[in-house]
A and B are shown apart, each in its own frame.
Chain A
Amino acid sequence: MRRVVILGGGTAGTLLANSLDHARFDVTVLSRSSEHLFQPALLYVALAHADPRIVRDERRLLSRRVKLVQEQVERVDLLARRVHARGAFHDYDALVVATGARADPSQIPGLSEVAARFGNYHSGVAPAQKLWAALDAFRGGTIAVGQASPICVCPPSPLEGVLLIDRLLRRRGLRDRSRLVFFTPHPRAYPAEAIDEIVAPLLKARGIELRTFFDVDRVDPKSWAIGSIEGERIDCDLPVIVPPFAGAEIAYEPASVLDDDRFVHADRNSLRIPGVLGAFAVGDAADLPTSKAGAGAHLQAMVVAEQLAGREATFDGRTHCAVDLADGTGTFVVSSYASPAVRYPPSRLKHLMKMLMGRVYWLSLSGRFEPLFDRYFHWTAPERLGASALRHAEKAAARSGS
């Protein structure tokens, strides 16, 4: 039997482990935690006081034929094909790095103090609950929301954050006593233009100040003033800052497979780690030129599963990131390497689909529903949606012209 070792028991690692033919492959998942967190729900725990039971036992999510070993991997020798963990090692025929991304506030002075005082919604249930407590106690003043670095898992999440906080303040009758500032290192409210066209007017309509090209350089741990590399400053009472992200603290041989932020280089189509045999990197752990988000992790896991099964498969860079517009509607950021994000009009149905994913997610990890996901991603491909949006626009133009 071929030995497949998967590092990480998140979305990609779990789905991949379950999708392999267990009669042909001896599959081991090495995970530092026995818990599996549905990360997108942290947004609602922190900003809408949602049920914090968004963690499940990884063992119960994995097929009984998959071996789960809870241990801290320290070093991976890609040349000798051996994974070194604390006190043990694992030899492999195929390795899949799916170790995710971790929030790393230590990269920016003052950000660890912000995390300790106010929490955040990108590093676990406890920090998310801490942020809810801070918002719950807020009675007026300035709240500044944004991402600290251009690398952000779930790229719509900073924007969703400010929109949900605006909704919370309105519901509590605090909006006229509060100033809301949204800052971003990007040139516009959302980096993809088609989505920016939807969200920039929303920010304006809801009275949210927008500060673009704002790369956080430091936060004053006394006044909570946020300073940017560009030399600007935002004074606030409550900083809601998405921390920078980095790859896992694992050493690799050769070290050249890691980028400056410890993400693992992978071919953008085959997902193979270049220069070595039998190794792949998927999901947030990989240095791919696409969004770090759940749909990508899901699709990449399936591409690797197909290749290991001996079938041809390539990753096309597909994104499918849900955006909650906090007014009962939502949209998705749908793009691929070949197609920039398409304008996908917001609707209630799209918001319901995002909410439904919170339940479907746990089932999706079994791999049993793959034919359904395959159809869904096929029908929502950016080329298809783009062509349909164009037809709608042409019809509208024809109507207004006649």
Chain B
Amino acid sequence: MADDPNRRLIDARGKACPGPITDLSLAYRRSKVGDVFELWATDPGIRPDLQAWAKKTGNEIVSVEERDGAIVAVLRIRAR
């Protein structure tokens, strides 16, 4: 999956709110159905924002985990 050509890395580590969700919005704007985002963030505020974003946009949160001191979320674009 790591070499999935549709997978896009969004590195928002070190960005305070709303940096991570803004970066996600920008990536979503340039995405197509089937794309997978791997979002790295350090701002804990991203967790509730991601839930709200997925609910609103109809996209899927595949996983959210802590790795190397960061929050890593894998998201699949299902609607746009």
Contact = CB atoms under 8 A, between A and B. Distances in A.
Nearest to B48: A187
A229 B45 contact: no
A315 to B, nearest CB: 14
A290 to B, nearest CB: 9
Interface in B11-31: 14-19, 21-22, 25-26, 28-30
A231 interface: yes
A312 interface: no
A150 interface: yes
Given A150-B26, A186-B22, A260-B30, A229 B80 contact: yes
A202 B56 CA distance: 24
A187 B21 contact: yes
Query: Which of A187, A231, A260 has the most chain B CB atoms inside 10 A of its CB?
Result: A187
B52 interface: yes
A199 to B, nearest CB: 14
Report the interface size class on chain A: 20 to 34
B41 to A, nearest CB: 11
A191 B53 contact: no
A231 B79 contact: yes
Contacts of A44: none
Contact of A185 (B17, B19, B25, B58): B25
A89 interface: no
A340 B17 contact: yes
Contacts of B29: 149-150, 215, 229
Contacts of A150: 22, 25-26, 29
A149 B30 CA distance: 12
B66 interface: no
A186 B21 contact: yes
Contacts of B15: 289
Contacts of A289: 14-16, 19
Interface in A172-216: 185-187, 191-193, 212-213, 215
A361 interface: no
A86 B42 CA distance: 44
A289 B79 CA distance: 28
A76 B18 CA distance: 32
Interface string B59-76: 000000000000000000
A213 B28 CA distance: 11
Contacts of B80: 229-231
A260 B27 CA distance: 10
Nearest to A335: B16
A25 to B, nearest CB: 33
A191 B18 contact: yes
Contacts of A340: 16-17, 43
Interface string A316-357: 000000000000000000010101100000000000000000
A66 interface: no
Nearest to B80: A229
Nearest to A151: B26
Nearest to A261: B26
A187 B49 contact: yes
B56 A230 contact: yes
B53 A187 contact: yes
A236 B6 CA distance: 37
Contacts of A230: 56-58, 79-80
Given A191-B22, A230-B80, 4 more contacts: A150-B25, A191-B17, A215-B29, A337-B16
Closest 5 CB pairs of A and B: A191-B18, A213-B56, A150-B22, A150-B25, A289-B15
13 contacts: A186-B25, A187-B21, A187-B52, A187-B53, A191-B18, A193-B17, A213-B56, A230-B56, A230-B58, A230-B80, A289-B15, A335-B16, A340-B17
